[in-house]
Structure 1
Amino acid sequence: MASLKLSKVVFAGQFKEEFEAVMKPMDWPLYAFQSGEISKALLAVKDAQLLVVSRNSNRGASLIATSVTRENRHQSYVASGPPCWLFELFVNESRFL
């Protein structure tokens, strides 16, 4: 994220245990190395947050990840452009916020 020159980033996902290992490393000693590496990477971003969300709350991101593997979209959506269904998905989701 730092290489993209982003100063405020929210990492959201269903990663409760993983995020806890980063936020409370003393409670997760087996993951000390991994959580330390993630913590170092987060320091490069001025305002980084880790947010645990449910699968339903993160439906758009889940569908994007699925489409990467199913549709062989190994190029970034930024580089190759999003699929046509993506814009409509987020418009529809935003109506329920």
Structure 2
Amino acid sequence: MNKKLYTNIITNELEGSAFFPDRKNNPVPPVRVVPLVRPVLPVPPQGKRIMKQRHPFDIYQDQYESLQSLALEERKQGGVGSMSAMVREAIDKLLAERRSS
């Protein structure tokens, strides 16, 4: 015994209900086309130095431990305590000293 499903009768009964609104009276609005925009590359601010990331240099163990100690002391006093900032400052001083000689 095969049962036949009368889909047109079910569709007529459901049409216009809250779950299946009448599409003829309420058409779906068209989707607005958005033009593609190329990404804008960031421009470094004037006067600010560009950071070179992760350039390895070898230092002695005692130099590293001294930097750690100085950074910890600076943090205890409410400062940043950045070992990287200290190294950059030391390099700037060395370069200025060598250029002036």
Q: Which TM bucket (shorter chain)?
A: under 0.3
Q: Which has the higher contact order (CA 8 A, sep 6+)?
A: 1
| Alignment TM-score, normalising by the size of structure 2 | 0.22
Q: Which structure shows the higher helix fraction?
A: 1
| Alignment TM-score, normalising by the size of structure 1 | 0.23
Q: Which structure shows the higher strand fraction?
A: 1
